[in-house]
C-alpha cells in the first residue's frame, strides 16, 4: 500500500468504528431513571416485576456466608468484591463501578446503558433507541446463557422458556 491508500484506509476505518465509540460513551443512569416511566400499569409495570424478581437480589446474593465460601475457592476474595462474581451478578466493569451496583442484574445490565436513549422522544422509536445504545436482542436465549451457564458455580440447568416466563415484563398491547 502506498501512503495515500494507507491514509484513506485509516480514514474509512475511523468512520467504521465511530458508531461503537459513541455507544461506549453512554452512561448508566440506574433503575430509578427507568422506573419514572416503566412503573405504570399502562406501560406494563416493568419496574415492579423486576423488583419482585431474583435479578434485583443478585448483588445481595453475594453478601452471604455461602457466597464467600464459593468465592474463596475461586481466588479468596469476598464474593461482593470479586469481579469474577460481579460480572454475572451485576454487569460490566463500569456498572460495577457505578452507584447502582447494589441493584444487581438490573434494567441496564440487559438493555444497555441508558443515558442516550432514555428520553421519551428516543424511547418511542425502537430503531433510534438501538442506535443510542439500547440492546437489540437477536437471540434472547443466547443472551440469557451468557450468564446462565456452567461458569456459574451453582449452575444446574437453564430451561429457557420456563425461565423467560418467570421474568416476562411486556408492554401491554393496544
**Measured between alpha carbons, how far is 160 from 141 in angstroms, rounded to an integer?**
6
**Measured between alpha carbons, how far is 170 from 46 in angstroms, rounded to an integer?**
7
Build a one-symbol-per-residue string for 101-140: x at contacts with ligand HEC by CB under 6 A, - elsewhere: ----xxxxxxx--x---x-x--xx-x--x-------x--x
**Measured between alpha carbons, how far is 101 from 169 in angstroms, rounded to an integer?**
22
Whether residue 32 contacts residue 118, with contact meaning beta carbons closer than 8 Å, is answered with no
Q: Name the one range near ligand HEC by CB under 6 A: 10-18, 19-27, 58-66, 94-102.
A: 58-66
Among 23, 96, 101, 163, binds ligand HEC (CB under 6 A): 163
| Cα dihedral value 81, 155, 93, 61, nearest 10 | -40
Q: Residue 150 Cβ, how far from ligand HEC at the closest point, in Å? A: 8
Among 45, 70, 96, 101, binds ligand HEC (CB under 6 A): 70
Q: How many CB atoms lie within 10 A of CB 41?
A: 8
Task: Quote the radius of gyration of the chain (alpha carbons, Å).
Answer: 19
Q: Is 45 in the site for ligand HEC (CB under 6 A)?
A: no
Whether residue 96 contacts residue 108, with contact meaning beta carbons closer than 8 Å, is answered with no
Per CB under 6 A, residues contacting ligand HEC are 29, 31, 33-34, 36-38, 46-47, 50, 54-55, 57-58, 61-62, 66-67, 70-71, 74, 79, 82, 84-85, 88-89, 91, 105-111, 114, 118, 120, 123-124, 126, 129, 137, 140, 143-144, 146-149, 151-155, 163-164, 166-167, 169-171
Amino acid at each position: 500500500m502506498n501512503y495515500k491508500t494507507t491514509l484513506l484506509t485509516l480514514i474509512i476505518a475511523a468512520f467504521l468504528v465511530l458508531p461503537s465509540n459513541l455507544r461506549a460513551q453512554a452512561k448508566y443512569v440506574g433503575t430509578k431513571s427507568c422506573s419514572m416511566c416503566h412503573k405504570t400499569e399502562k406501560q406494563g409495570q416493568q419496574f415492579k416485576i423486576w423488583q419482585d424478581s431474583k435479578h434485583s437480589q443478585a448483588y445481595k446474593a453475594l453478601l452471604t456466608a455461602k457466597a464467600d465460601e464459593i468465592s474463596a475457592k475461586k481466588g479468596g476474595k469476598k464474593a461482593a468484591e470479586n469481579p469474577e462474581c460481579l460480572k454475572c451478578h451485576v454487569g460490566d466493569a463500569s456498572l460495577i463501578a457505578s452507584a447502582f451496583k447494589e441493584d444487581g442484574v438490573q434494567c441496564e445490565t440487559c438493555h444497555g446503558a441508558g443515558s442516550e436513549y432514555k428520553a421519551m422522544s428516543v424511547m418511542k422509536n425502537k430503531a433510534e433507541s438501538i442506535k443510542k445504545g439500547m440492546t437489540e436482542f437477536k437471540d434472547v436465549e443466547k443472551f440469557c446463557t451468557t450468564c446462565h451457564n456452567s461458569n456459574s458455580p451453582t449452575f444446574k440447568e437453564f430451561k429457557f422458556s420456563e425461565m423467560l416466563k418467570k421474568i416476562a415484563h411486556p408492554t401491554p398491547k393496544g
